[in-house]
A and B are shown apart, each in its own frame.
Chain A
Amino acid sequence: MKGLDKLLSELELQQLQKQTRRHFLMDCVSKMGGLALFPLLNACQPDSGKHSLNLSERDLNPLASLAPPFIPKVKSVIYLHMAGAPSQLELFDYKPELVKYNNQPCPESMLEGRKFAFIRGVPNLLGPVAKFQQHGQSGAWVSDFLPHFSKIVDEVAFLKAVHTDQFNHGPAQLFMHTGSPRLGRPSLGSWVTYGLGTENQNLPGFVVLTSGGKTPDAGKSVWGSGFLPSVYQGVQCRSKGDPVLYLNDPEGINRSLKGKIINAINQVNKEEFAAVGDPEILARINQYEMAYRMQLDVPEIMNINDEPDYIHELYGTLPGEEAFANNCLLARKLVEKGVRFVQLYDWGWDSHGTEKDTALDLGFRNKCREIDRPMSALILDLKQRGLLEDTLVVWGGEFGRTPMQENREGKTMGFKGRDHHVDAFTMWMAGGGIKKGTSFGKTDDLGFSGIEGRVSVHDIHATILHLLGFDHEKFTYDFQGRPFRLTDVEGEIIKEILV
């Protein structure tokens, strides 16, 4: 048998040596020719030219509202992302055992085979910095860092054992919002606007609002459209000054003149379409018209000054400033006006304990105060308008934080802080289709790993798409020769938190 193998490999070698570069090029020429022949032949078919002119509403208006494949529970999503990853151990995941082991060295068995962003050697465990209490009829544990939120816990469903596989901010944020830790995939909001369009044709379908002084570490890709047409990317609206830059008419040009200009351009475009028949031209005409309409509606809706005082008090807004509270109020206004997906990013949650601002008992607590009232107000405000029945609110960071105190470079830190942690963290959802006052998943006694009801980032995406009326396994976009999904080849709907 050995001889035979040798003989076969010798034969293969000989055959390969005979195949020269010239053979290769010759093959290329003849076979490429064959490939080119295929569309040529296809073009001879009598009906081949027609379908390019069989225009759907989608061709003309890529944001036209579409029916979802299944009856949806919600029609809009408000996603509150705490960039930097807040500590679940100071907010929702109460671990009395951890109190006992405060300042004790972490058992080495827990560290075996683990990698942390900054922790080196054997760190000490850090007991919860906040005080916990059970709240509401559901008896959910919430810390005293969120006194307002603790009053509305019966509206939300907690996911206590979410896990991810990225322990750096950028990749983890990308994973959380695009389903992949690498660049190039469309964001959740893009998928949704691609699949459903948007109802209000005078406003963007996917709006992004940021607060906390910085935008997410992963950059604008977290609301990018990836390989989807760029019309589906998030529209970032600024909280201060003009919400969208260059939206106002330049000085000396009034609105009626602008209207005339657009009409004239569209007239030319229509003639061009009549001559050429390219549907792209119709799409362009439509987009000019949409931009013209948005010029009026966007500044109006992005203005929170018209809201009554008690609403401002409820949210604790800071008019004229860039604030999470303002963004929460805007999110409600946008959803009320039929915007499909509103994404809020609040930066500044990376509580390593390296300085005062990132200390769990100082800077972190200030961040908690900044979001506590607004996000609670958002839920109540949506509820009182009946918008919570068809809106989904999602809250979370890109990962969680370690039960151990951070020991950057092996040194003891001056402030209380925790390192990035991928194994277990808490997220919550509220709104249509969500089982109110539930908590799913459990972590171990130290809050290190999920031991029950672990859910992945893909599971969360699958659940969000499910509530919007999609089957996440069938919702695909063809790119680079294969269909792509938001959930790749994973994701299971978290039925336990659904009605």
Chain B
Amino acid sequence: MDFIFSLFGRFHPVLVHLPIGFLILGSILVFYAKKEGEEFLPAIRIAFFWGTIAALFSVASGIILYLREGYSFNTVSKHLILGLLTTLLSLGFYLYLKDKVKFIDSKVRGMSIGLVFILMLTGHFGGELTHGSEYFTEVIPDRFQGLLGISKSAEVSKISLDEQHWGEAIFYQDVIHPILSQNCNSCHNEKNRKGELVLSSPEMMEKGGKSGRVLDHRSPLESTLLARMLLPLEDKEHMPPKDKRQPSKQEVALIHKWLESGASFELSLAKAGVEKEMIHMYFPEEKDVFFPETALSQLSEDILMPFRKSGLLVAPISQESPLLKINAINFSANQKLKFKDFQAIASHIAYLDISGTDQDDTVWNDLMVFENLTVLKINRVNIEGKGIEALHQLKNLKRLYLNYSDLQLSNLLALADHPSLEGIFFYATPASKDINSDEIARFLARLEYGGYELPVLSSDTVVY
């Protein structure tokens, strides 16, 4: 029958509204009555009598709730003390009204105001317990919050590790603690101690909760901390509870690893034997920086339309990107392409394929304004590469294609120290025939000029 008490305790949030109602009703009547009048006095006495009775029930249920639901005294102290105070004052006020008061005067009115004020305060701190202390402030826009001097509570720390020095990070402090605060702390913190368990600090974790210790140092993998997470989701004992946020597989794996390594609060990741794959999600996301990042905005269709009409393929390199890919693939052979027209959009062009168009070596100078050009394909053109050093102006150029051109080795050498070029492709050109290993070694970029062979093997002709 013990559950009756728990049940009664849980009625606390309902019961508290009775004294609130009675005491406020009584106070209203105090002001409703004419000064020096006595016509409402019996009603006022009844209101404060029942208000006191209801307050006693509220206090009783509240104390049971506090004792049985794992609240710490620090959390509930204000509410508890004020609640008791309200009850006592209400009792005193009722006794005073009953014996001493013959008519309503300012003294009575003052006392009732005081009582209601303390009542409200009690209610406020009670609400803070159920709704959280940020219940009011969080809806206030940030700029007003600043004016009011409310600083946002620190966000749950996000795990981020350095790809080079991750091994030196402390397993507990840098990984396990944040995982626990994200998944467990809402119920197991200093304020809210469900099952008398607090997981927010090493000391409290060692202490364990109502059903014993959560860390078992003799056989760490049997620790309740992990066992409860590994129970099937449907199990009543599963933690976190079914309807709460669940830790990811990787997070559970890391907790497993931490326990396996002895559940130490000082061990580093490397010493605990954590492998890089287990924590790769905490490394800063690598950004794809093949194409330059720019502050340009996407060009409007009106500007691009004339280029499309001329037969060029013009499209952003991706749907959101301001950078353009331009391809002359649908041009008829040796069609002339005028670079003067490109001035307006030159800095938007990141990928330019003008293979097979009618070009001469003046092209290099025309290209100097294409500041974001990253891939340049000029295959199948009759150019020797005179003036190709102008490409040094293009700080983002990474790939240069000159297959089937008349590229001369002497001209190509000018690009040997181009800082951003990653690959130069000049298959089937005079340069590809002349180049030797000494010259190749001078280039910072990878050179690709073909000439691959698959030597004939005796097995090529064997039929089994």
* Residues of A in contact with B (beta carbons under 8 Å apart): 65-72, 144, 147-148, 151, 199-202, 310, 314, 316, 337-338, 361-363, 365-366, 369, 373, 376-377, 380-381, 383-386, 389, 469
Contacts and interface: CB of A to CB of B under 8 A. Distances in A.
B399 A71 contact: no
A384 B459 CA distance: 26
B313 A386 contact: no
A115 B379 CA distance: 54
Q: What 3 A-B pairs come out closest when comparing CB atoms?
A: A384-B450, A386-B425, A380-B452
Given A67-B317, A69-B318, A386 B452 contact: no
Contacts of B313: 65, 199
A386 B401 contact: yes
Contact of B452 (A70, A147, A314, A362): A314
Contacts of B320: 69
B316 A362 contact: no
Contacts of B319: 67-70
B454 interface: yes
A239 to B, nearest CB: 21
Given A148-B454, A365-B464, A366-B463, 20 more contacts: A66-B315, A67-B315, A67-B318, A71-B317, A144-B459, A148-B457, A151-B454, A199-B313, A199-B330, A200-B330, A314-B452, A338-B329, A366-B464, A369-B459, A369-B460, A373-B454, A377-B454, A384-B451, A385-B450, A386-B401
B341 interface: no
Contacts of A314: 452-454
A469 B318 contact: yes
A199 B355 CA distance: 14
A431 to B, nearest CB: 14
Prevailing SS type, chain A contact patch: loop
B3 interface: no
B454 A386 contact: no
24 contacts: A65-B315, A67-B315, A67-B319, A67-B321, A68-B319, A69-B318, A70-B318, A71-B291, A71-B317, A148-B454, A199-B313, A316-B460, A338-B329, A361-B464, A366-B463, A366-B464, A369-B459, A377-B454, A383-B452, A384-B449, A384-B450, A384-B452, A386-B423, A386-B448
B324 to A, nearest CB: 9
Contact of A386 (B318, B325, B427, B453): B427
A72 B313 CA distance: 17
B345 to A, nearest CB: 15
B23 to A, nearest CB: 43
Contacts of A377: 454
A72 B454 contact: no
A362 B315 CA distance: 51
B288 interface: yes
Interface string B299-328: 000000000000001011111110001010
Interface string B421-441: 001010100000000000000
A363 B463 CA distance: 9
A141 B403 CA distance: 34
Contacts of A69: 318-320
Contacts of A310: 453
A98 B445 CA distance: 45
Interface in B392-424: 399, 401, 403, 423
A199 B315 CA distance: 11
With most chain A CB atoms within 10 A of its CB, the pick from B401, B449, B454, B457 is: B454
Contact of B318 (A72, A147, A338, A389): A72
Contacts of A337: 329
A369 B462 contact: yes
A337 B284 CA distance: 39
A222 B387 CA distance: 51
A384 B315 CA distance: 27
B457 A147 contact: yes
B290 interface: yes
Contacts of A200: 329-330
A294 B313 CA distance: 18
A338 B377 CA distance: 13
A147 B427 contact: no
A200 B329 CA distance: 6
Contacts of B316: 67
B327 A147 contact: no
Contacts of B329: 199-200, 337-338
Nearest to B315: A67
A365 B462 CA distance: 10
Nearest to A144: B459
Nearest to B461: A369
B351 to A, nearest CB: 10
Nearest to B288: A71
B426 to A, nearest CB: 9
Contacts of B330: 199-202
Contacts of B401: 386
A148 B456 CA distance: 9
A383 B448 contact: yes
B427 A385 contact: yes
Contacts of B459: 144, 147, 369
Nearest to A366: B464
B451 A71 contact: no
B73 to A, nearest CB: 45
A65 B321 CA distance: 16
B299 to A, nearest CB: 13
Contacts of B452: 314, 380-381, 383-384
B460 A373 contact: yes
B399 A389 contact: yes
A71 B454 contact: no
A369 B462 CA distance: 9
